Structure 1
Amino acid sequence: MISPDQLRRYLAYDPETGVLFWRARTPDMMPSGCHVQTAAWNSRFADTPAGTGLKGYVRISICGQGYAAHRAAWALHYGEWPDGHIDHIDGDPANNRIANLRTATNSENQRNTKISRANSTGFTGVYFQKSKNKYRAEISAGGKRLYLGIFARLEDAVAARAEAERRHGYSKLHGLDADDRELLAGLLEELGHEVEHDRGVAS
């Protein structure tokens, strides 16, 4: 892994947009060291967005080494590689604005993931069990998968999952897609402003 200072030779980062850009290269940064190849590379890639998408995340390759764009963004902004996981606060893995990134443990990172497409119930951690014609609820906590019970009614399974999420400190945005996350975040922000206003009036 290259150092953040070395990384800055290859990439520029805009913390407001979250986009990383390729910097113009010098011959010593090219495998061949060829001036002609360097000029051709700069003509095609310099000052253009870096990376390719992979399962929603942006990946960047430098000198044959792959880097996650959100980790590179963190290193470029703070001058050091993160020790642990980097969590996308809004759950969008392509949103690498610095305000949307935070360090997190693996458990905390998992708590802020959106619902799997394979889930037919529409609720994270709640699955229809065909063999019993009932709904199973479960949750991940402390690196373990915890069984919450099996229920005849979907709403009971959802309620059990919701209570477990509160108990284990899951994000309010957990399980929502990008549009719903944005809507809920806006509503929560508006509610926060209203609460602060009411407090000001009351005082």
Structure 2
Amino acid sequence: MVTRYTKAWPEEVIRYINENITADFESGTLFRKGVKIEGSLVNPKPRQYLAFGCRINGKFRILKVHQVIFYLYHGKQAKLWIDHIDGDPLNNAISNLREVTKEQNQANMIPRKKTKSGYKGVHPRVDNKGFWATIRCNGKSHYLGQFNTAEEAAKAYDAASLELHGKYGYRNFS
């Protein structure tokens, strides 16, 4: 049995979407009765998503664009997380969306822009004599070693990401 992570929509929300919303799956754009839905950014940077508001049976609801695109394309609401394959939460093209577990989604998260090394999983040593790398998998941190340059450490991270996370893992280098 798969645990549901995404809260199931009430029947009136599903009916509203089916009756009022259409999508351009290639661009990831939604339309309400033929008019493009602009949407607004929700969540703090850099993990912002597009969402839009609608009034259903007198109650105001906020729906995330990527969840509605996924629903309209597949004909069912995702039970797990919806991952943006390229790491860009504003790219809602159906080719960029996939249903994943929480762990798979976290493995593909882009690094926070504030990293001192500029790479995911890479940290400068306290003595400023190189870098060390770590990666998380199944809730555990794995030490990958010490390296002379941030690039070497990032390449070690990428190799571990491929091994541990497969196609779901984030890579510092393409």
SS in structure 1 at match of 2:132: strand
- CA RMSD of superposed structures (Å): 2.6
Mapped contact 1:5–1:79 kept (Cα < 8 A): no
What letter corresponds to residue 140 of structure 2 in structure 1? K
Structure 1-normalised TM-score?
Answer: 0.65
Residues 76 and 159 (structure 1 numbering): CA distance in 2 closer, same or farther, change over 3 Å? closer
1:12 to 15, 22, 31: 22
Distance 1:175 1:115 in 2: 10
Residues 173 and 145 (structure 1 numbering): CA distance in 2 closer, same or farther, change over 3 Å? closer
Moved more, 71-80 or 141-150: 141-150
User: What is the deviation of 1:123?
Assistant: 1.6
Give the equivalent residue in structure 2 for 1:91: 87
Is 1:51 the counterpart of 2:39 in the alignment? yes
SS in structure 2 at match of 1:168: helix
User: What is the deviation of 1:98?
Assistant: 1.3
Distance 2:87 2:155 in 1: 23
Is 1:2 the counterpart of 2:2 in the alignment? no
Mapped contact 2:121–2:157 kept (Cα < 8 A): yes
> Which one has the bigger helix percentage?
1
Give the equivalent residue in structure 2 for 1:139: 135
Residues 77 and 164 (structure 1 numbering): CA distance in 2 closer, same or farther, change over 3 Å? same
Residues 149 and 71 (structure 1 numbering): CA distance in 2 closer, same or farther, change over 3 Å? same
Structure 2-normalised TM-score?
Answer: 0.74
1:102 to 92, 98, 101: 98
What letter corresponds to residue 40 of structure 2 in structure 1? T
SS in structure 2 at match of 1:65: strand
SS in structure 1 at match of 2:51: strand
Q: Deviations over 1:111-150 (max 9, x none)?
A: 2222320112122110114x33242311121133333334
Q: Size of the alignment, in residue pairs?
A: 155
Distance 1:115 1:62 in 2: 33
What letter corresponds to residue 19 of structure 2 in structure 1? R
What letter corresponds to residue 65 of structure 2 in structure 1? A
Q: Deviations over 1:9-30 (max 9, x none)?
A: 342211121101223xxxxxxx
Residues 70 and 157 (structure 1 numbering): CA distance in 2 closer, same or farther, change over 3 Å? same
Residues 90 and 152 (structure 1 numbering): CA distance in 2 closer, same or farther, change over 3 Å? closer
Q: Deviations over 1:176-201 (max 9, x none)?
A: 5xxx8xxx5xxxxxxxxxxxxxxxxx
What letter corresponds to residue 64 of structure 2 in structure 1? A
Structure 1: segments with no counterpart, 5+ residues: 24-45, 185-203
Distance 1:139 1:72 in 2: 32
Q: Deviations over 1:88-115 (max 9, x none)?
A: 1222211111122111111211222223
Identity of aligned residues (%): 29
